[in-house]
Structure 1
Amino acid sequence: MEPEPYQVRPGARNLITDVPGLKVGQAQAELVRTGVTVVLPDERAVCACDVRGGGPGTRETDALAPENLVDAVDAVVLSGGSVYGLAAADGVTAWLGAQGRGFEVAPGASFPHSPVVPAAILFDLANGGDKQWGGEPPYRDLGREAVLSAGEAFRLGTAGAGYGAMAGGLKGGVGSASVVSADGLTVGAIVAVNCWGSVVAPGGRTFWAAPYEIGSEFGGLGAHGLAAAPDAWGLAKTAAEPRNTTIACVATDVALTPAQAKRVAIMAQDGMARAIRPVHAPFDGDVVFALSTARQPLPEPAAFSLARLGALAADTLARAVARGVYEASAWPGSDVACWSALKP
């Protein structure tokens, strides 16, 4: 019997870590105004990636293609720092290797395993933080600090990879959400919101993601005022601010093949389109990873269940985007605009 519509609820924490088998760790450098978020599965997990932004910065994403050798990953890294932030995955990789985790190239060999750690970065270099790091960017150390802190609870808003982020004209941040379906499928999302477009409708504080809100997880304002004319973007960044990118990871406890995970990642990108306007611009680097912890089989019929997972992932990612901005606070000593200060 098909589940009745709307019989869904957030998980116990309303975080991506409601997906069994996942932990999240975060670290930030407040003076630099940047940070790192690590999604850490308990065991190697199937992963796929979908890139829609015109200016992406990624690591190891080609290895995730279904036709290639790698069929699982050891962690996913989301980082600030633009190109420098890709080094956060080095710190995570080194820690995983020291734990004996990773792809085993040759069983019983004397050389270490090869951890597979895909990563994506956002641009936060121009936010006023102290970026005079010379030849020692902080990201490798931040990556290690983040993975060492991994657990089921973590902070939203101005934290981790979203510490230095801006969401259009508002302070951005890390958002997360989860959902459990009537028949027990769990889907979660985590996102660092640093978009060029606006997350709220023009002239007010209503989130574009309002129709997907569960309870009052980002203010409970409903969809009042959710309208805009063409080219009316409200609190988007200006043309002179091409420094953006929203990066995310969605996850499920349902067993997926790499090709099926890719379809979930593709569908999940629509969550960004539901929560950010405009999105996937030439100077966004929008990336979505999809993870499977494989704690339960994909229900039959498989194609229908896969479509459900993709739809749930898109809605959950839209909610996560709004939660990241809703929870964001200004950097210490700054007067950056936050959603909480917008007039009703």
Structure 2
Amino acid sequence: MNRRNVLMGAAGLGGLAFAAPLLAKDAALRSTGRTGARNLITDVAGLTVGNAQDVKVRTGTTVILADKLSTAAIDVRGGGPGTRESHALEGHNLVHAANAIVLSGGSSYGLAAADGVAAVLGSKGIGYGGMARPGVPVSPIVPSAILYDLANGGDKGWGTEPPYRALGISALEAVGADFALGTAGAGYGAQAGGLKGGLGSASTLVSDGSTVGAIVAVNSMGSTVAPGTRNFWASPFEIGDEFGGLPPSAMYASPEEWGYTKAPAAKENTTIACVATDLDLTPDEMKRFAMMAQDGMARAIRPIHTPFDGDVVFAISTGRVEVKGPRPVAVLRAGAVAADTLARAIARGVFEASTPPGADSKAWKDLTL
């Protein structure tokens, strides 16, 4: 008998008191994990984040800045991705590192946000290729991924001057340890299934002394909540009440019952994310870390990795913590924690989102079930 049936049976017995211990257990389990001080990706030392958005256009950009060129990787599973410098991150290629990572709205136009970031970093001599010298600038490595928010009702009549290069520069200028979640940055114009999407982030303190963080812009075709409920699919992984504290006990669905999804349509979706660790992992280990982290999307969004989504996960290591013990075990632990952390970040992005001025999208906060 599954938990749903146990609770239904308890109610049939007039047994709310019988069900109460199960709900209490749910609440107790949510408190066992440990987040970093901010519960943001910036709890991973060496990273800062900045947001910028254009309210009129209903779009935005988020920049994750590393304090040095840092080992990075990428895992792509969506059917319609849009990326820049993704191949540079493969371990068999030369660079497999990044100075910054950019997540942006704007579909293909949004890739220009990384141009603005690269221009500013290059002007400061930050990039790949040694010290800048007269006539030979360095090459900033700024991988990026974009989501589709072009049909959200904002003013997209920008002619030959899309706002994304400027948004990238503004987001870089805003980097810091604290940043807004929900309707902010790359999540400003996002739509998560039938609910307003947004920017989410979370962190986890790991038993080996390392920290894992995640940041994500949720613009999925699939739903982040169970059918007929306000409960997030990510509820089993919640720490404290970071996205409402609703118990997972009432969650269930048949194989083709998904909840608040969008109608399938090409080019209108994508969840883009970055996970981070301070473990000193190699390029190949970072690739496995990114691959394992991608499963956090499957724990938080249903369905996911569809032909209509362009789901991408970047991974970056600031290398502050030395790996102790067998390296495969360290990668296993980091990747498993990253998947849960990303799932939590997805739920937080939708939980914190609000409807932009003038828009008619429904936010999670508006659900009254």
Give the TM-score band, short-chain normalised: over 0.9
Is structure 2 residue 361 aligned with structure 1 residue 336?
A: yes
Equivalent position of 2:108 in the other structure: 83
Deviation at 1:334, TM superposition (A): 2.5
Equivalents in 1 of 2:295, 2:326: separation in Å?
23
Task: Determine the C-alpha separation between the residues in 1 that align with 2:264 and 2:341.
Answer: 29
Question: 2: distance between equivalents of 1:249 and 1:27?
Answer: 17
Q: SS in structure 2 opposite 1:53?
A: coil
Asked if the contact 1:7/1:181 (under 8 Å) is kept, the reply is no
Work out whether 1:190 is the aligned partner of 2:215.
Answer: yes
Q: Which has the larger radius of gyration?
A: 2
Instruction: Look up the SS of the partner of 1:20 in the other structure.
Output: coil
Aligned equivalent of 1:38 = 63
- Counterpart for residue 295 of structure 1: 320
Shift of 1:276: 0.1
What amino acid is aligned across from residue 247 of structure 2 in structure 1? G
Instruction: Report the Cα distance in structure 2 between the residues aligned to 1:103 and 1:206, rounded to whole angstroms.
Output: 45
Could you tell me which of 145, 151, 158 is aligned with 1:133?
158
Question: 2:125 touches 2:132 (CA, 8 Å); kept in 1?
Answer: no
2: CA distance between counterparts of 1:39 and 1:142? Answer: 14
Displacement of 1:8 in angstroms is 3.8
CA distance in 1, matches of 2:175, 2:335: 26
Please state if 1:227 is matched with 2:248: no
* Equivalent residue, structure 2, for 1:245: 270
Letter in 2 for 1:255: D
Taking the TM superposition and a 5 Å limit, the aligned residue runs for 1:48-127 are 48-104=73-129, 110-127=135-152
CA–CA distance in 1 between the matches of 2:252 and 2:271? 23
Deviations 1:93-117 (A, max 9, x none): 0000011100116875641100000
The runs of at least 4 consecutive aligned structure 1 residues that moved more than 3 Å come to 105-110
Distance 2:63 2:131 in 1: 27
| 8 Å contact kept, 1:7–1:182 | no
Q: Check conservation: 1:254, 1:296, Cα contact below 8 A.
A: yes
Aligned to 1:3: none
TM-score (norm 2): 0.90
Paired residues of 1:187 and 1:309 also in contact (CA < 8 A): yes
Equivalent position to 1:264, from 255, 278, 289 = 289
1:320 aligns with 2:345: yes
Paired residue type of 1:164:
G
Corresponding residue of 1:164: 189
Q: Return the alpha-carbon distance in structure 2 between the equivalents of residues 7 and 183 of structure 1.
A: 16
Shift of 1:230: 1.2
Q: Deviations over 1:210-238 (max 9, x none)?
A: 00000000000010321100111110101
How far 1:17 sits from its partner (Å)?
0.2
In structure 2, runs of 5+ residues without a counterpart are 1-30
SS in structure 2 at match of 1:43? strand
Q: 2:305 aligns with which of 252, 267, 280?
A: 280
Distance in 1 (CA, whole Å) between partners of 2:132 and 2:360 is 55
Q: Distance in 2 between matches of 1:23 and 1:242?
A: 30
> CA offsets, 1:232-288, max 9 Å, x none?
111010135750000000000111111111000000000000000000000100000
Q: Distance in 2 between matches of 1:35 and 1:86?
A: 12
Identity over aligned residues, as a percent? Answer: 63
The two structures have a TM-score, normalised by structure 1, of 0.96
AA matched with 1:138: P
Aligned counterparts of 2:278 and 2:127: Cα–Cα separation in 1? 20
* 3-state SS in 2 of match to 1:340: helix
The unaligned stretches of length 5 or more in structure 1 are: 1-5
Q: What code does the residue aligned with 1:102 have?
A: G
SS at match of 1:73: strand
- Residue 63 of structure 2 aligns to a residue in which SS? strand
Q: What does residue 42 of structure 2 align with?
A: 17
2:279 to 254, 259, 262: 254
Residues 140-178 of structure 1: CA deviation (Å, up to 9, x unaligned) = 000000001000000000000000000000000000000
Opposite residue 182 of structure 2, the aligned amino acid is: G
- The whole-number CA distance in structure 2 between the counterparts of 1:295 and 1:158 is 32
Aligned alpha-carbon RMSD (Å): 1.3
- How far residue 66 of structure 1 moved from its aligned partner, in angstroms, is 0.6
Larger helix proportion of the pair? 2
CA deviation digits over 1:302-330, x for unaligned, max 9?
Answer: 10110000000000000000000000000
